[in-house]
Amino acid sequence: MAFLPAQARCETVARFLPGMSATSFLDQCRPTTLVLTKAFDPSIIALAQAARERSIRIVAVLCDDRSEFPQVHGLDLALANLADVVVVQTTAMAQHVREVFGRESTIIEEPYEMPAGIPRFNPEKTLHLLWYGRFTNHDTLAAGILPLIDDPALDFRLTVITDRMTEHLSVLARQIGGRAGASIELCPWSFDGQAKALENADMVIIPSLDRQDKRVKGHNRLVESIRGGVLAVAYSLPAYRELSEFCWCGDDMHTGLTWAVANREAAVDRIRQGQAYIEQRFSIDAVSSRWQQLFDAA
């Protein structure tokens, strides 16, 4: 959310690590505005307090609802209280911040990173499905993939691009491996690896769960699929519903897959229209301009 726009704008980007001196850090970086994101250690609060003593404007970027984790939730609350501005990426997260922290937020979406692909959907008998994401989303896989495993008439190959192995993923791999006509390939995440997987995929599948920590999630995984020219079947989280014209969005991945196979031209039209839309809203230029508006409003 914050790193890519800062990098594009040639702003100073630095990691503040436990044990660092807040005073020395601010002396070295000399910010007029301090944008803080991904708080995992209490030392970031000392940095924010030191910045406040110097009348440095503080922007707190809150990416997730971390209410289930008291330590980091407490850091988010402290930052929200210290910040001049709170930035989030979705309306659902803005509502959470309003209800839990008592703060209004500025919504700035995360920009896409993947290269553009040509809109396409012309699968053969075996569907090449792709899932990518961090291990924290492995708990969504079973709900989305099991209905596909249960359909003996559906042949598919699932590629999973992720950062680590978990029990959720191990169980899924065993279930897929035990079914004729289905296979799974597990690949470590890399930027190039995800880009290559998008080139080879017929469809991206993005299951999720109707749970608060999932409902505040951003648009990123769906946006990257559209950007790559690949149809996505996405669970109906609020951020995905905003882009429902450009994918298939609903609660049942099997229904979405069936619709896509029966409506190939319509699927490609959705991707093509989606690419035009996300260029206006999720490109690095569009997102950077939103950050500039925030800085100009000081």
pLDDT of residue 258: 96
pLDDT of residue 178: 87
pLDDT digits (tens, 9 = 90+) for 122-176: 999 999 999 999 999 999 999 999 999 999 999 999 999 999 999 999 999 999 9
Query: Using CB atoms within 10 A of its CB, is residue 10 exposed (0-12), middle (13-18) or buried (19+)?
Result: exposed
Closest-CA residue to 16 (of 1, 142, 31): 31
Query: Using CB atoms within 10 A of its CB, is residue 74 exposed (0-12), middle (13-18) or buried (19+)?
Result: middle
pLDDT of residue 146: 94
Closest-CA residue to 2 (of 30, 26, 35): 35
Instruction: Report the DSSP beta bridge partners of residue 234.
Output: 206, 249
What is the signed CA dihedral for 232, 238, 242, 245, rounded to 10 degrees? 40
Quote the tokens at residue 120. Answer: 């396409």
Q: Which residues contact 222 (CB under 8 A, 6 or more apart)?
A: 206, 232, 234, 239, 240, 243, 247
Residue 132, helix vs strand vs coil: strand
pLDDT of residue 111: 97
Helical axes 141-149 vs 253-262, angle rounded to 10°: 50
Provide the b/e sequence for 188-197 (b: ≥16 CB within 10 Å): ebeeeebbeb
Domain ranges in the chain are 3-111+283-296, 127-281
Nearest 5°: the CA angle 112, 254, 166 is 65
Region at 181 (left for phi over 0; alpha for psi -120 to 50; beta for the rest): left
CB-based contact 80:97 (threshold 8 Å): yes
Provide CATH code, domain 3-111+283-296.
Answer: 3.40.50.2000
pLDDT of residue 277: 98
pLDDT digits (tens, 9 = 90+) for 76-93: 999 999 999 999 999 999
CB-based contact 12:31 (threshold 8 Å): yes
Q: Compute the distance between CA of residue 34 and CA of residue 41 in angstroms, rounded to an integer.
A: 17
Q: Which residues contact 144 (CB under 8 A, 6 or more apart)?
A: 205, 206, 207, 208, 235, 253
- Give the chain's residues under pLDDT 50: none
pLDDT of residue 37: 92
Hey, do 3-111+283-296 and 127-281 end up sharing a CATH topology, with the first three levels equal?
Answer: yes
Name the CATH topology of 127-281.
Answer: Rossmann fold (3.40.50)
